[in-house]
Structure 1
Amino acid sequence: MHFEDLPRDWAQRPVTHPDVFEGVADLIATDRSRSDGATYVLLCHPNGRLLQPVRLPEGTETPDVLRRFLAELTRHEVHDVAVVLARPGAPEPTPRDLERRDVFEAACRDTGVRLHAVAVAGHDDVRTLVPESGCAAA
């Protein structure tokens, strides 16, 4: 799905709604972030609507750094997130994408943050990753 295909009311829906998530991921992940590689954490309201996208600085996807980041979010009453992995190439999940998803799932589980979805934004398309163990419970 492309951002041009988003329904008009997408901002009133949960970001992970099947008719919305891949389009929002496509909107957030710029061409440059896809060519360079980037990770976005989509901060969400409790009802799943998009609050704010945050691009993580390079090198911050280690489990300890992610746990500290997510723990800080909870101090500010943010308990719901989705993740967009922007990278070059086709959006079909690679072993590295699955490993990154697993690291996010573990960090969310450890901090009580609900991970609603993960997507890979590759060249000109987006694919949602199926959760390994389901969404982390808050």
Structure 2
Amino acid sequence: MRFDELPRDWAQRPITDPEVFEGVVDLIATEQSRSDGATYLLLCHPNRRLLQPICLPDEPRRVDVGEVLDGVRLLLTELSRHDVHDVVMVIARPGSVSATPRDRDLRAAFEGACRAAGFTLHAVAVAAPTGVAVLSPEGDSAAA
């Protein structure tokens, strides 16, 4: 789903709702972030409605998973002090939406960082110039 296909009531739904998830990710992950590479933390209310997107720029061709995770850990620690504990992560990068080894490593690292900070990771997606795909816990992505 593209962002321009989102139903009018998308903001009142949980962003993990399969009828809106890919469209919300498409709306938030900019063309520039998909071209340059970025990690998004989509902070959620306890009912999984979008609270605030946060973009952490990175360079997927040069930055390793550990460098990305250092920023994520610091941010999650600070956010937990403000009673935010629900998050969706988006990996914006060049290339196709097919899962890469780096995507799988990032997802596993996100899961560990969330557990350590007391967060619930509700979903992970890949946003590439060609589209959006959900990154399953097994590391496979399904194009939307």
User: Normalising by the residue count of structure 1, what TM-score does the alignment of the two structures yield?
Assistant: 0.89
Stretches of structure 2 lacking an aligned partner (at least 5 in a row): 140-144
Alignment of 1:38-77 (within 5 A): 38-58=38-58, 60-62=67-69, 64-77=70-83
Alignment of 1:1-138 (within 5 A): 1-58=1-58, 60-62=67-69, 64-132=70-138
Instruction: Give the conservation status (yes or no) of the 8 Å contact 1:66–1:107.
Output: yes
Offset of 1:42 from its aligned partner?
A: 0.3
Stretches of structure 1 lacking an aligned partner (at least 5 in a row): 134-138
Which amino acid in 2 is paired with 1:46?
Answer: P
C-alpha separation between the residues in 1 aligned to 2:16 and 2:112? 19
Instruction: Give the conservation status (yes or no) of the 8 Å contact 1:102–1:132.
Output: no
Which amino acid in 2 is paired with 1:88?
Answer: P
Any runs of at least 4 consecutive aligned residues in structure 1 with deviations exceeding 3 A, and if so which?
57-60
Alignment root-mean-square deviation, CA: 1.6
Instruction: Give the conservation status (yes or no) of the 8 Å contact 1:41–1:55.
Output: yes
Q: Secondary structure at the match of 1:56?
A: strand
Which amino acid in 2 is paired with 1:124?
Answer: T
Total equivalences in the alignment: 132
C-alpha separation between the residues in 2 aligned to 1:87 and 1:36? 7
C-alpha separation between the residues in 2 aligned to 1:124 and 1:65? 27
Which amino acid in 2 is paired with 1:40?
Answer: Y
